[in-house]
Amino acid sequence: MNKGALLYEGKGKKLFLTEDENLLVSEFKDDLTAFNAEKKGNEAGKGALNCKISTQLFHLLEKHGIQTHLVKTLDDTHQLIKKVKIIPIEVVVRNIATGSLAKRLGIKDGTVLPFTLVEFYYKDDALGDPIINDEHCLLLNLVKSESDLEELKRLGREINVIMKSFFAERKLKLVDFKVEFGVDTEGNILLSDEISPDSCRFWDMDTNEKLDKDRFRQGLGDVKVAYEEVLKRILAH
Ligand code: UDP
């Protein structure tokens, strides 16, 4: 499958057209951003690591019945994916309070939540991706109906159950993560975008060491080492 014209460039990936109108090529970039792109960076090899990590996790989820946009991996940094219409909602799933949740609601950082929390954020850079509720989603016509929102929540929770136990076996706490979904030509809701240490928080089970994008955002260093460690643990077993 040949990489055609550039269709879209985001913070972490570029999307290219292919000769098949239903398929795109996704290229994982080395760029890193933090807090609405106010801090930018670049970590050579990060794109390849995220591509490998995301491919493994999408395969894991497919195996458990979650439909995804992934067709196949082409090389270290490229995936062939189904073309979908991205639903402009970031679905954030949380097991432990940290980041914006801890700050916004004054919950002590690191508090284990009494139940899995699912939140919606409006994917709009200019507005700074604000948190929104179900009615905002309907008001803005981000989905067709309330049942789509229920489906997004169900999928977020199911992905969490699968990944939380997968990572627990690998001595990593899945603190929280963000997923995006798209609608294919037949109207199916498919898991899209990526799942990687750019979009998840992973803390070491024993030491709580951060093995994700927070290493970059908080200036902890060794970003690539941390991402390599996550991939190593995914591939272990
Ligand atoms: N997240 C993301 N993209 C975003 C915002 C958040 O992938 O644009 C992920 C983030 O990596 C974390 C989870 O969603 O795993 C929750 O992020 P939070 O709301 O705490 O915001 P942050 O503190 O990361 O700004």
Distance of CA 120 to the CA centre of its chain: 13
Say how many Å lie between the CA of residue 103 and the centre of ligand 1. Answer: 12
Q: Which residues contact 141 (CB under 8 A, 6 or more apart)?
A: none
Distance between Cα 173 and ligand 1 center (Å): 16
CATH for 212 = 3.30.470.20
From 30, 61, 82, give the residue that closes a domain.
82
Pocket of ligand 1, candidates 199, 216, 227: which has the most ligand atoms within 8 Å of its Cβ, to mutate? 199
Question: Residue 92 has what pLDDT?
Answer: 99
- pLDDT mean by block of 10 residues, the chain; 237 residues: 92 96 97 73 93 98 98 97 98 98 98 98 97 98 97 98 98 98 96 98 98 96 96 94
Listed residues 82, 108, 128: the one ending a domain: 82
In this structure, the answer to whether residues 217 and 176 fall within a common structural domain is yes
Residue ranges lining ligand 1, Cβ < 6 Å: 35, 90, 92, 99-101, 129, 176-178, 199-201, 213
CA of residue 24 to ligand 1 center, whole Å? 26
Given a contact cutoff of 8 angstroms between Cβ atoms, the answer to whether 226 and 210 are in contact is: yes
Residue 105 Cα to ligand 1 middle (Å): 15
pLDDT at residue 34, as a whole number: 67
99 and 63 in a common domain? no
Please give the Cα distance from 228 to 216 (Å, whole number): 14
Reported as type and span, the H/E element at residue 204 is strand 200-204
DSSP 210: B
The CATH number linked to 27 is: 3.30.200.20
Answer yes or no: are the C-beta atoms of 195 and 54 closer than 8 Å.
Answer: yes
Residue 1 resides in a domain = no
DSSP 228: H
Choose which residue among 50, 98, 100 to substitute to test ligand 1 binding: the one with the highest number of ligand atoms within 8 A of its C-beta: 100
Provide the residue range defining the domain that includes 44: 6-82
Q: What is the DSSP string of 66-89?
A: --BSEEEEEETTEEEEE--EE-SE
DSSP 17: E
- Does 200 lie in the same domain as 101? yes
In this prediction, residue 41 carries a pLDDT of: 86
Same domain, 136 and 161: yes
> Which residues, in sequence order, are bridge partners of residue 32?
41
179, two tokens: 């997923």
- Best of 53, 91, 92 to mutate for ligand 1, by most ligand atoms within 8 A of CB? 92
- Model pTM score: 0.97
Domain count for the chain, please give it: 2
The sign of the CA dihedral 122, 126, 130, 136 is: negative
